Amino acid sequence: MVFQRLTAFALIGLTTATQVGAEAGGDPTRGEALFRQCSGCHQIGEGAENRIGPQLNHIFDRAAGAVEGFRYSNGLSRAAAVGLAWNYDTLDAFIENPRTLVSNTRMSFRGMPDQQDRDDLVAYLRVFSDSPMNIPEAAPTARAVDHAVAPEVLAVVGDPAYGEYLSGECTSCHQKSGASDGIPSITNWRAEDFVIAMHAYKDGVRAHPVMQMMAGRLSTEEIAALAAYFERIDQKV
């Protein structure tokens, strides 16, 4: 993947700025139309200002949570602190489903499931970034991995009793009370959110090394068991 990105960067260096959008496989004109789904909260282009969401100029290669004057959610600030930066892969994953990357983000966007739509939207965002890097060359050779959690994985019904045993690994850091100073709360999440977040760590899409390690050896069933337990932790008798 890294090699591909480097290759892509070298190729981009050889092309003119106007050709880049097409090389990336996205259509910025179509992306502009898709951006209407975003423009209720985000501005982009000359004179763009922070509104409900931050302005999106120069988003490529910028650290997450870095727009001056914008108050980010704790979730996004935390993701930023452990190294989330915006590039083709992370924007693609975030637009597909914001919860994949950032739990409890205030960005209440249902997500954009279609890969071509996302490519077009990212191509549009890219028009407003200088010297954009980290954008793969044309499809399909360098397409980002699909970050969606497969429906059959989401459909696994977890055993809360097994989840309670496994939760011992979580409660060495995360508190059952839901207290969230320094270490985020993991209680009472919707099971689906929990599963998406854990698979994102397991697949290395989310950056945190402890969580990548812990999630890395959890099976689909074990993640579902934990999700089932933590979703109803307060209702346990």
Partner 1 sequence: MPLNRRTFIGAVVATSGVISTPMLRAQGRPRVVVIGGGAGGATAARYIAKDSDGAIDVTLVEPSRAYYTCFFSNLYIGGFREMNSLGHSYGTLAAEYGINVVHDWAVAVDRDAKTVTLASGGVLPYDRLIVSPGIDFVDGAVKGWDVSAQNVMPHAYKAGSQTELLKAQILAMPEGGTFAMVAPPNPYRCPPGPYERVSMVAHLLKQVNPTAKIIVADPKANFSKQGLFEEGWAANYAGMIERVGPEFGGGNVEVDPVAMTISIDGDVNRIDVCNVIPAMKAGRIAQIAGITEGNWAPVNAHDMSSKMDSNIHVLGDAAAQGDMPKSGYAANSQAKVCANAVRGALTGSTVFPARFANTCWSLIDTDNGVKVGATYEATPEKIATVNGFISEIGESAELRAATYRESIGWYEGITVDIFG
Residues in contact with partner 1 by the rule CB under 8 A: 78, 80-83, 161-162, 164-166, 168-169, 171-177, 179-183, 209-210, 212-214, 216-217, 234, 236-237
Least distance (Å) from partner 1 to the CB of residue 110?
29
Measured from the CB atom, the residue of 55 and 187 that comes closer to partner 1 is 187
**Amino acid code (one letter) for 129:** S
Measured from the CB atom, the residue of 48 and 80 that comes closer to partner 1 is 80
Least distance (Å) from partner 1 to the CB of residue 129?
22
Least distance (Å) from partner 1 to the CB of residue 172?
5
Residues 122-140 as b/e (b if ≥16 CB within 10 A, e otherwise) read bbbbbbbbeebebbbbeee
Q: Using CA atoms, how far apart are residues 167 and 236, in angstroms rounded to an integer?
A: 14
Do 199 and 134 touch, CB atoms closer than 8 A? no
Measured from the CB atom, the residue of 118 and 199 that comes closer to partner 1 is 199
The kind and range of the H/E element at 210 are: helix 209-216
Residue whose entry in the numeric block shows the structure tokens 């980002």:
144
Measured from the CB atom, the residue of 62 and 176 that comes closer to partner 1 is 176
